[in-house]
Amino acid sequence: MVQVIVLNGGSSSGKTGIARCLQAILPEPWIRLSVDDLVDALPSALLDSDSGISFGQHGEVGVSGGFREVERAWMAGVAAMARAGARVIFDDVFLSGSASQERTRASLAGLEVLWVGVHCDPVIAAGREIARGDRATGMAASQAEVVHQGAVYDVEVDTSHTPSLDCARVIAAQLSLVASRRR
Amino acid sequence: MVQVIVLNGGSSSGKTGIARCLQAILPEPWIRLSVDDLVDALPSALLDSDSGISFGQHGEVGVSGGFREVERAWMAGVAAMARAGARVIFDDVFLSGSASQERTRASLAGLEVLWVGVHCDPVIAAGREIARGDRATGMAASQAEVVHQGAVYDVEVDTSHTPSLDCARVIAAQLSLVASRRR
Amino acid sequence: MVQVIVLNGGSSSGKTGIARCLQAILPEPWIRLSVDDLVDALPSALLDSDSGISFGQHGEVGVSGGFREVERAWMAGVAAMARAGARVIFDDVFLSGSASQERTRASLAGLEVLWVGVHCDPVIAAGREIARGDRATGMAASQAEVVHQGAVYDVEVDTSHTPSLDCARVIAAQLSLVASRRR
Amino acid sequence: MVQVIVLNGGSSSGKTGIARCLQAILPEPWIRLSVDDLVDALPSALLDSDSGISFGQHGEVGVSGGFREVERAWMAGVAAMARAGARVIFDDVFLSGSASQERTRASLAGLEVLWVGVHCDPVIAAGREIARGDRATGMAASQAEVVHQGAVYDVEVDTSHTPSLDCARVIAAQLSLVASRRR
């Protein structure tokens, strides 16, 4: 039984929309968490390049040891939620590709995880970034491909020309398949 | 010279994204206004079915005379902004189709308006509504087609399979065409 | 009959809370507008120090001619809303004190205006800025006093130790007084 | 060493503002979590009176077994974050007074907790609810006193006439005192 669905994709690739659609179509209740929730929870002293996480004017993300330390504890909590029975859809951005995936994998050790790659054409993601109007210009294009470098998935979707709800259906079908196989 | 761009389309058809993309690609500064801004400005006593505007659990919108009165004054102000030189992208929902368009047309009398129809397949709009997670379920499907009944446009776009930025480019091209014709 | 209530005060002085309380206690419907609405409506090209309005890291606000031009047209629209019958509570920040008030007064020429000074101790406003967490640190303290320099009011309130609702009641009482005097 | 600061108080009592001020004045990084974060993470199927948590028109909160089950797992995760080294400020609402406190206490078993009561005069909290404009009318008044029934605290503050930052300072002083005592 899958306990955590990890959605990995660049900024503006459509992960949040897919996560909401998954919540709507899956028969069991799933909660939706994201590293953005951690960023919202931080003190302003950690929203700074030297000691925390920072977001540059052109969409670059800087992460320091101080942020990593808090993130590690926060991820331990997310894993504990899943171990305690909450079904978790986790929206992630593997800024360092496979190295990031290994870090997330280590945090989720012992849990049944469905790894999902959420791809999006960088040009289309950059267009969505403009349409959203709430992200630094450049983040979508700079993350679109690097976040998938070396990452390994159970299922991959591409939101470039496929609506979030259809992507969610593909993921839900894979979830059923995995569930039936492992029975 | 076009002074107001009216974007008409149902809920979750993608008007706001197109408006932001238009702001990004048009060489002159355009401001973005929407009837949602009026709703945000209202006292809570007007967010009620009997005396104002109300939003039902299944996405139905109820509008009373009290709301219409304030809306008429507010629209007179939007028109005055354009007359005073502000370029305005106005995001509208013609809940009563051509009758709504006539009301908007009367408010904007004397101004050069580019009328844009923003279409979206009702099924796709309904999917986006789920992905957004901040609108009552049913609003997208119920508005998708009625808002276009009898409406007349200078240019029409369909966001079902075309990104916001590409739709904005089509509108911007029409704007240039109109400008060159009217010179 | 007062057509526009102008609330002037520095950032984090409590103007928005007072405006919402006024909407709740006044018997007629009033709409709430703010220069922040204009900022939200701007293209990103105007959110820049050289050509528009910009917000520094320490709360300083920079305004250029490009912004002033759009603002003038937008204020003409706000005045037109009031002339067309909408009762308007306008939340303003007189960044240049009396010079700003003159600019607002000119925009609202011919309208019956109630001018309200919203004072707040700079130290208390700075504390609220921290508690809100959504404004640049320093804006509250830097604006607290300069926005009132040379400004002339019909009624003044101080939110340092008085809740928003009580301040709204003082303003509403003055509104009734003015109404009865002018009858 | 205190690992979790629990702030308990009714809606609109000022807990979030105090939490942000604590983050600003405490020398170590603390993260801010709230049961509201869980509500935001839920699928819409759990935002319903029969199977989840629901918010009535007059501010009443209904909670079912389905919500409690997810909440229990989520709280296990919050506790795990603190055990893994994250310092957590937890914003809670003891809807059932001491029974709620016991449930939170059980979730945080083994952790050093500072229990903080955040009081606010019901009339003043109700006024703030109007000034905020984003909560159902009635929630503040109905929760103001019941959430403290039978609750036991290490420190209590009253936001009726004391700014958030000053309340945060009282809590920070108590935190230092506890730290020095337990050394």
* pLDDT tens figures, A46-83: 887 677 888 887 888 888 888 999 999 999 999 999 99
Smallest CA–CA separation between B131 and chain A, in Å?
Answer: 4
pLDDT of residue A183: 60
Contacts of D among chains (3+ CB pairs under 8 A): A, B, C
pLDDT of residue D181: 79
**Alpha-carbon separation of residue A142 from A9, A18, A31, A63, D56 (angstroms):** 12, 21, 28, 16, 44
What residues form DSSP beta bridges with D119?
D158
pLDDT of residue A135: 80
pLDDT in tens, C125-178: 999 999 998 888 899 999 999 999 999 999 999 999 999 999 999 999 999 998
C-alpha to C-alpha distance for A16 and A92, rounded to whole angstroms = 10
Considering only CB atoms, A37 lies closest to which of D29, D37, D43, namely D37
Q: How many Cβ atoms are within 10 Å of A63's Cβ, its own excluded?
A: 14
- Contact assessment for residue C124 and residue D163, using Cβ atoms and an 8 Å cutoff: yes
Chain D residues with beta carbon closer than 8 angstroms to that of A85: 69, 72-73
Q: Is C180 on the interface with A (CB under 8 A)?
A: no
Chain A residues with beta carbon closer than 8 angstroms to that of C137: 44
pLDDT of residue D166: 98
C-alpha to C-alpha distance for C60 and C52, rounded to whole angstroms = 14
Q: Which residue of A has its CA nearest to B124?
A: A163
C-alpha to C-alpha distance for B73 and A23, rounded to whole angstroms = 42
Do D76 and A81 lie within an 8 Å CB cutoff? yes
Q: How many Cβ atoms are within 10 Å of D134's Cβ, its own excluded?
A: 7
**Alpha-carbon separation of residue C37 from B173, C46, D72 (angstroms):** 29, 14, 41
In terms of Cβ atoms closer than 10 Å to its own Cβ (0-12, 13-18, 19+), residue D147 is: buried
| Residue C2 pLDDT > 80 | yes
Q: Is C85 on the interface with A (CB under 8 A)?
A: no
Do B131 and A166 lie within an 8 Å CB cutoff? no
Q: Biggest alpha carbon distance in chain C?
A: 49
pLDDT in tens, C39-70: 999 998 888 767 788 888 788 888 888 899 99
C-alpha to C-alpha distance for B12 and B143, rounded to whole angstroms = 9
Q: Is C111 on the interface with B (CB under 8 A)?
A: no
Q: Which residue of B has its CA nearest to C87?
A: B70
* Token pair for A43: 């003190």
pLDDT of residue B5: 98
**Alpha-carbon separation of residue D132 from B113, C43, C89, C163, D144 (angstroms):** 38, 28, 16, 12, 16
Cα-Cα-Cα-Cα dihedral sign, residues D22, D27, D28, D29: positive
Task: Choose the catalytic residue: C36, C91, C158, C166.
Answer: C36
In terms of pLDDT, which residue wins out, A10 or D58? A10
What DSSP element (H or E) covers B91? strand B87-92
pLDDT in tens, C86-134: 999 999 999 999 999 999 999 999 999 999 999 999 999 999 999 998 8
Q: How confident is the model at residue C182 (pLDDT cuts 50, 70, 90)?
A: low
Contacts of C among chains (3+ CB pairs under 8 A): A, B, D
pLDDT in tens, B20-32: 999 999 999 999 9
CB pairs under 8 A between A and D: 100
pLDDT of residue D49: 64
What DSSP element (H or E) covers B41? helix B35-41
pLDDT of residue C30: 97
| Residue B64 pLDDT > 90 | no
Do C130 and D24 lie within an 8 Å CB cutoff? yes
Do D38 and A24 lie within an 8 Å CB cutoff? no
Smallest CA–CA separation between C20 and chain B, in Å?
Answer: 7
C-alpha to C-alpha distance for C73 and C86, rounded to whole angstroms = 18
Smallest CA–CA separation between A9 and chain C, in Å?
Answer: 26
Mutate to test the interface with B, among A7, A26, A130 (most CBs of B within 10 A): A130
Pairing of strands D30-34, C87-92: unpaired
In terms of Cβ atoms closer than 10 Å to its own Cβ (0-12, 13-18, 19+), residue A83 is: middle
DSSP character at residue B178: H
Q: How many Cβ atoms are within 10 Å of A43's Cβ, its own excluded?
A: 24
* Token pair for C1: 């009959």
| Residue D121 pLDDT > 80 | yes
- Contact assessment for residue D51 and residue D66, using Cβ atoms and an 8 Å cutoff: yes
CB pairs under 8 A between B and C: 101
**Mean pLDDT throughout A151-175?**
98
C-alpha to C-alpha distance for A92 and C52, rounded to whole angstroms = 35
C-alpha to C-alpha distance for A2 and D115, rounded to whole angstroms = 37
In terms of Cβ atoms closer than 10 Å to its own Cβ (0-12, 13-18, 19+), residue A119 is: buried
* Three-state DSSP class for residue D92: strand
Do D163 and C124 lie within an 8 Å CB cutoff? yes
Do B41 and C24 lie within an 8 Å CB cutoff? no
What DSSP element (H or E) covers C88? strand C87-92
pLDDT of residue A163: 97
Of B113-127, D45-59, D130-144, where does mean pLDDT reach its minimum?
D45-59
Chain B residues with beta carbon closer than 8 angstroms to that of A133: 20
ipTM of the complex: 0.93
Residue entry with tokens 């059932």: D96
C-alpha to C-alpha distance for A18 and A4, rounded to whole angstroms = 15
Do A130 and B161 lie within an 8 Å CB cutoff? no
% of chain C surpassing 90 pLDDT: 81
**Mean pLDDT throughout D28-49?**
91
What DSSP element (H or E) covers A78? helix A65-83
Smallest CA–CA separation between C182 and chain D, in Å?
Answer: 30
Of A56-65, B10-19, D156-165, where does mean pLDDT reach its minimum?
A56-65
| Residue D183 pLDDT > 70 | no
Q: Which of residues 8-67 of C touch D (CB under 8 A)?
A: 14, 16-18, 20-21, 24
Strand runs (DSSP E) across chain A, as ranges?
Answer: 4-8, 30-34, 53-55, 61-63, 87-92, 113-119, 155-158
